[in-house]
Amino acid sequence: MIHDEKKEPVQQPADVDEFDSDGYSSAEILNALKNEDNQHEIQLRTMSWQKGAWLLCGEQVCLAIMSQSWSLSVLGWVPGIITMLLSGILFWITSTTMHKFIMKHPQIQNICDFGYYAFGKSRIAYAFAGFMLMANNILLIGFHILTGAKILNTLSDHSLCTVVFSVICTIMGVVLSVPRTLHHVSFMSMFSSACMAIAILLFLIFAGIETAPLYGYNGNYPTDGPVRTYAFPLPGTTWVNCMNAVLNITFLWVPQILFPSFIAEMERPQDFPKALAVLTGISVILFIVPPAIGFRYLGQYATAPAFGSLGTVAYKKASFGFVIAPTLIIAVIYANVSAKFVFGHLMGRSRHAHSNTVIGWGVWLGLMAAIWILGFIFSEVIPSMGDFLSLLGAAFDSFFGFIFFAVAYWQLYKGKLFAGAGRSIMTVIHVFIMACGLFLLGPGLYAAVEAIIADYAGSVSPAFSCANLAL
């Protein structure tokens, strides 16, 4: 154990650098981190790999799954399934690279520290990643507040103003966000995953037993003809629509912005690959099979989310209603990671950072309230959250799903990138990963911006509107 206080790990990258620069091995750093955490009143490094797997599943098994049938309706079977499979393979490879890099630098506590080390201990990379982390998470919290209001609108037949429903979701989110450890949040994730699984199962049953869907983006059934599926995009499908469908798929497969924070709270970070294997197995099934079945029964009438295409109101309410739990709990995970990033900088090395003090809990609750209020404001003032999520997907996924991990791979193996056939193959794969990131950052970002421009050219919803958002 390292007794010199200035060498103990904290969130500031400069101090982390001091700790790392004295030649300690990764095992020694891990032991020091664990011993330090054991001395705290509020211990963070307590999550088993099983709890980690539940947390990963709780964050990944989300409403975005129900948007994939729409992606297939735009891309068709062949490009759609290829994009899904390729995204899954690249997700596994980049997540494995990320874990190896963190094991080399086990003092990494979040994606900001990861960027700091991946880009040669760059403070600019740290600040950039910090901004991106907070922007991504707060906007996603806003999206989940808006989704929660949409669910309550649907279940209640718009019995209250939509803003009121958004306020209700915000208050519920703040209450659920009180726990300071991800170990406690992982218990919520079990419930979240179960509810989302029920929602998906009910949707598949209802879509299968209905004679026809209710409507699609091209009109009510049968305006666009009988339900049909197709191997490739239909004539007239624009490049922008195809690119946004691809972004919709990659957005679902790129959760790594939170993974360093999850690993930092595992009792044995070395066991993360076990949790990742569980997540990948579940994701491959849930991200491909339900969307494929949905596309089979909805065809060109698929909407995002697919619940909106169900023709029977009771079916729609019964399946969509279960999504309220994952909608709020996933937002809680994003809020926890965001608050910890700011909390670590505000509290520093004081006892309030890891003890049950009035100041510590007051700052934590204040941060949570501020984060959720910001999310609420974004949910109300952005006219089309879906298009802005495509923008975020292009901007954030390009870095946190591809570019960061291609650079980390280079840092891990520079000087021996082509040492043997296996290493050479992985190097070529990571060059492709970098190319994917740059493609999302270039043409992907352009497509997202074009969609937003088209959005503003039409009717724009006013801020803080009471309009009915029910499916």
Residue 18's pLDDT is what?
41
Q: Is 239 left (phi over 0), alpha (psi -120 to 50) or beta?
A: alpha
Burial class (CB in 10 A: 0-12, 13-18, 19+), 131: exposed
Beta carbons within 10 angstroms of residue 450's beta carbon? 18
Determine the CATH number of domain 53-457: 1.20.1740.10
Tokens of 241: 């629509």
pTM for the model = 0.90
Residue 323 CA: distances (Å) to CA of 129, 150, 188, 410: 30, 11, 14, 40
Residue 386's pLDDT is what?
65
Bridge-partner residues for 219, per DSSP?
A: 216
Residue 324's pLDDT is what?
95
Map residue 319 onto helix, strand or coil. helix
Residue 68's pLDDT is what?
94
Task: Say whether the peptide bond before residue 383 is cis (omega within 30 degrees of 0).
Answer: no
What is the residue-level pLDDT of the chain in tens, covering all 471 positions?
333 333 333 444 434 444 454 556 777 888 888 888 888 888 888 899 999 999 999 989 998 899 999 999 999 999 999 999 999 999 999 999 999 999 999 999 999 999 999 999 999 999 999 999 999 999 899 999 999 999 999 999 999 999 999 999 999 999 999 998 888 888 899 999 999 999 999 999 999 999 999 989 888 999 999 999 999 999 999 988 898 899 889 888 988 899 999 999 999 999 999 999 999 999 999 999 999 999 999 999 999 899 999 989 999 999 999 999 999 999 999 999 999 999 999 988 788 888 889 999 999 999 999 999 999 998 888 766 666 667 777 888 899 999 999 999 999 999 899 999 999 999 999 999 999 999 988 888 888 888 777 777 766 667 788 888 888
Q: Quick check: 71 and 80 in contact, CB under 8 A?
A: yes
> Which of 212, 269, 312 shows the shortest CA–CA distance to 31?
269
Rounded Cα distance, 334 and 425, in Å? 35
Rounded Cα distance, 129 and 110, in Å? 9
Residue 296's pLDDT is what?
96
Residue 388's pLDDT is what?
67
What are the helix and strand counts (H, E) for the chain? 19, 2
The residues spanned by each domain of the chain are 53-457
